[in-house]
Structure 1
């Protein structure tokens, strides 16, 4: 039953992401080991959507180390745990809760020993800034515990660059950039301190190549210049080269044509889904305290309230008029969604 639930949820989330993003490009997913221990290590810009994109595009049923704060509500906690998410506690969650991480890290080590896949965001928090922030050593702690308890285990580290043209925008474009495998064996425990430094440096270096990396020094100035040039942030290699070459020969982002038509189609889509849209605009969006959660909450409404509202409208048309009008409404909404997002 668990496998059926995971397959069903992955399929549903893939469908939701298909309608949410204009385009999602995936690179190098074919290099991901299928039956070996894997630890995906991604940069973290777009809150829960980062995890969902990796979950639906890596070809594995992965476990996710997730900030404990999102597990506060019992119903939400049960859903997240059913999706193989494990809570990780930070200092802001209270010093007394930090010891709970011991159980989670031991569980993670056991999963890697069983050749499962784990997703970790080693920056420790999300941030919209287009820079790879210093990595915490939490992922190295899991690596050492795995190797010490199961010395014959080889852990395949895979850095993942998550790239968004505009992370808070509906109908955005994204790139999931899987890096080269970094194999880790029992030789790392010979000098732990040196290994921690090397592991963090290797993953950090890989991430700076898999996503746009602007140094924190002069970040605002460089970022504004890139926005003025309208670069394509889903092509991180080109953007990083643009920065290195002092903004010479930078390729621009090719935005879609027919903007007026898209705007009209979006208005028609909103009219057909006016109740979920009003809930989003008047209730959900104003309560968002961290801008990084904008797309997460919008996507949550898109895959929960929108289908529910559409079902109610279809029942109304089917009962009051004829069943064909219910399907006409369904096809109308789907067509408007596709055209307004994909054009």
Structure 2
């Protein structure tokens, strides 16, 4: 338990949030909670959007983390003791079934938030994060532009060629705007890099940080705008991913569903050495075993997720795509984790359902070579 002295070390937002929940008061929406706790927050509010099953993700995390759990209505809070100070992690349901926002007021660069990310990894596939693509970054920036000029103060990215980091920063200058989100993302793409984070500003209105791992941090400004525009789109992106991955296991006496295609930014997987990186990424995943059935010229790997028994066939038959074929057991969480880990490693342009093959006509069969 956290004593009074240690509780005083929590941020104001965490402390008030816990007090309200401890009294059994309905926390309401995240905006309601922020308004009740501190109005416009004096601390940064960090959010990560996740896909979960039937349970609130905090209830799942609390099974592997020592801490105090409180649930009021649809919101769960976990209070954790840490050598850097106690903190509270909350989970709010969104408008979409199975999609939640994990919320805290410790910075995402703080080792305590890095613990949160490890907890999420440890409870997969019951809870999985969602990864954004360039479309999602652009969509959020464009939606914010309705409320003023969107400027980028910092961008981080990863070069696809050698996995090196790219960091760009732009200082505010009187009489001159910093790059827009379109310009910053376009410049990164021109350098062959995939965006990892963006720090966005609308003068006198809002400042925030976007992360590829479907997360955002509110710094200052209008939290209602942050919740409605930014978190709303993170939840929508997660719901699209959830809908894509759900119910894809094979069924007896039924044609198999179309596989999931991870579309790469170019012909990256050109030979056995390159496809070896696919094997290396699979081997890095916790609780996964692989069996290579074919190695060259195409790659075929059987993947088993021992966390829940899900099984998949992973194919590389063209250099610009990876296909994942679910087996007779394919949980939403396991398939999402597998596809996203490969997509993130190879900077995928998109993860989508494969297009059905073109039907073969009689003319195709009898046409001369």
TM-score, length of structure 1 as denominator length: 0.20
More helix by share: 1
Higher strand share: 2
Q: TM-score, normalised by structure 2?
A: 0.19
Tell me: higher relative CO, structure 1 or 2? Use CA pairs within 8 A at least 6 residues apart: 1
